[in-house]
Structure 1
Amino acid sequence: MSDAAIEEVSVLSSIYCRDGEFQILNCTGGRGGTLNVSAVFHLHPSYPSCPPHISISTTSLSKIQCHNIRQKLMTRAAELPLEPMLLQLVEYLQVKMYCGHSRNQEWTAVLLLDHIRSRNRYIRLLERWSQQLQLTCRLLLGPNPLIILLGERPNIKEFCHRLRTVKVDVDSSGKKCKERMMKVLAETPCSSLCQHRYGFVVKDYKSLSELTAVFEELNLAELYQQMLPTLSG
């Protein structure tokens, strides 16, 4: 480790001095925690002549979100002059995490509908609700009618509540009915990779392969794999 790196580690250890906040691991890296995220900086012997390698770990974010944070830090490190930069990277991480938590977290939800008999009426209601609740909505019509929602979690909850309490369709005898058999197949914090602003879209599909393609297009392939046993059962 160079003299500049040793001096920088000394400064960091004095700033982040609480228990578990900063550690030296095998004299090759440092660890700084902010909020619920832990960042490990692996320093090459020639550091700061080359940027550090960065690892991100957390129990409160998804793998995709960790990957996105790491990519932002690596990009930031590449932009900085080749001089001690750990403090700047830690402060950059703190700012990004604060900004992320200060906004309402967006969620992705996938709903399985029981049936859609009165198609036009059903679609009109779903479109109106998605606009009122500021939700991005994709309605997938096929063997398993699905709704993919993106937006703030309370609004998604309200959307589901309306489905179960408002007469949105008709039953086999033609009487108006509620969507009480609707199931929430998945509900998870939304990563930046899945934030497609597609408004309200209706799409027909005929096979699981076509449905798979839709989820892959939206960068939701991992979520789709988790639901596949339910859809193919």
Structure 2
Amino acid sequence: MSEQALEELSALAAIYCEPGACEVLAVSEADGVTFRIQISVKELLDADILLKLLFHLPVNYPSALPEISVSSDQLTRAQCMDIKDKLLEQAEKHLSEPMVHELVLWIQQNLKCVIKQPATVCSEKTTLSKGASTEDGIWMLLLHLDHMRAKAKYVRTVEKWASDLKLTGRLMFMGKIILILLQGDKSNIKEYLILQKTSKVDVDSSGKKCKEKMISVLCETKVQSQHKRFQMFEVKEYSTLDELQKEFETAGLANLFSEFVPPLLK
């Protein structure tokens, strides 16, 4: 399996890091790698839909297309086949570049269109591509970090990545809680996630440089009209939970705070 595929798999494991959300099923130098990603598509349909996406990346991936299988207890076999066919169509548009995260994001955006309407009705404006950032709009990402041992260096690295990728938002400290809230083009958000997982950003208990292994993606979604756009990236520290909550509320993100932050205190 190519080094590129291994790096992509490592990044995917960081993005879909909830228990059971991303599971490697088989790895072979001759056949490639097979893994499953499980996602819940929210706020698109009357009920949340749990999708299980099985990907097989051949040894010459991404020069060759992945094999894809789709299953869901809430959808019919025909609907799952429709999803698979649309994902393979999208995969062809990303040939020769890592594509799995792009495909997962695409189906999260377009599931309702795929299973409710004829394929011809699906808007091409939602097709993910490197040149489509203006059509995709601005996206938002909320990350939770378990700790920072080399805090000063870690903070400088995050600030540099945000600047290089033209991302705005906050790096927030409140007690033991560390959150990174980012806004920007979807492709740049994806690139940040890859950097966060694959770069040596911290040190281990012995002081040796290490990659980030204790990161959780709490939310990744498109910025809505009620959300305030951050004008810059800032590092901020809060002495109380109320101060942190006010930061979210000022940005129109009260629901995001109530859903994801209080559980971190347990």
> Which of the five TM-score ranges fits, normalised by the shorter chain?
0.5 to 0.7
SS of aligned partner of 2:177? coil
1:18-167 pair list within 5 angstroms: 59=44, 103-142=135-174, 143-167=176-200
Q: Structure 1 runs of 4+ off > 3 angstroms?
A: none
* Partner residue, 1:15: none
**Counterparts of 1:228 and 1:131, CA distance in 2:** 25
Distance 1:210 1:102, change over 3 A: closer
**Counterparts of 1:156 and 1:102, CA distance in 2:** 14
- Equivalent pair of 2:169/2:230 in contact (CA under 8 Å): no
The aligned amino acid for 1:149 is L
**Counterparts of 2:177 and 2:168, CA distance in 1:** 20
* Partner residue, 2:248: 215
**Counterparts of 2:160 and 2:265, CA distance in 1:** 30
Distance 1:214 1:119, change over 3 A: same
Aligned length: 137
For the pair 1:190 / 2:220, whether they are aligned, the reply is: no
SS of aligned partner of 1:194? coil
* Partner residue, 1:205: 238
**Counterparts of 1:232 and 1:115, CA distance in 2:** 14
- Equivalent pair of 1:165/1:180 in contact (CA under 8 Å): no
- Equivalent pair of 1:150/1:195 in contact (CA under 8 Å): no
**Counterparts of 1:208 and 1:231, CA distance in 2:** 11
Deviation track 1:39-62 (CA, whole Å, cap 9, x = no partner) reads: xxxxxxxxxxxxxxxxxxx948xx
Give the C-alpha shift of residue 228 in structure 1: 3.2
**Counterparts of 1:200 and 1:158, CA distance in 2:** 17
- Equivalent pair of 1:110/1:148 in contact (CA under 8 Å): yes
Give the C-alpha shift of residue 162 in structure 1: 0.8
Unaligned 5+ segments in structure 1 are 1-57, 61-97
SS of aligned partner of 2:261? helix
Task: Indicate which of 236, 244, 259 corresponds to 1:226.
Answer: 259
SS of aligned partner of 1:219? coil
**Counterparts of 2:231 and 2:214, CA distance in 1:** 27
Distance 1:192 1:117, change over 3 A: same
Give RMSD over aligned pairs: 2.2
**Counterparts of 2:218 and 2:134, CA distance in 1:** 28
Distance 1:198 1:116, change over 3 A: farther
The aligned amino acid for 1:144 is I
TM-score with structure 2 length normalisation? 0.48
SS of aligned partner of 1:193? coil
**Counterparts of 1:185 and 1:173, CA distance in 2:** 29
Distance 1:102 1:113, change over 3 A: closer
Give the C-alpha shift of residue 119 in structure 1: 1.8
Give the C-alpha shift of residue 229 in structure 1: 4.4
**Counterparts of 1:228 and 1:146, CA distance in 2:** 9
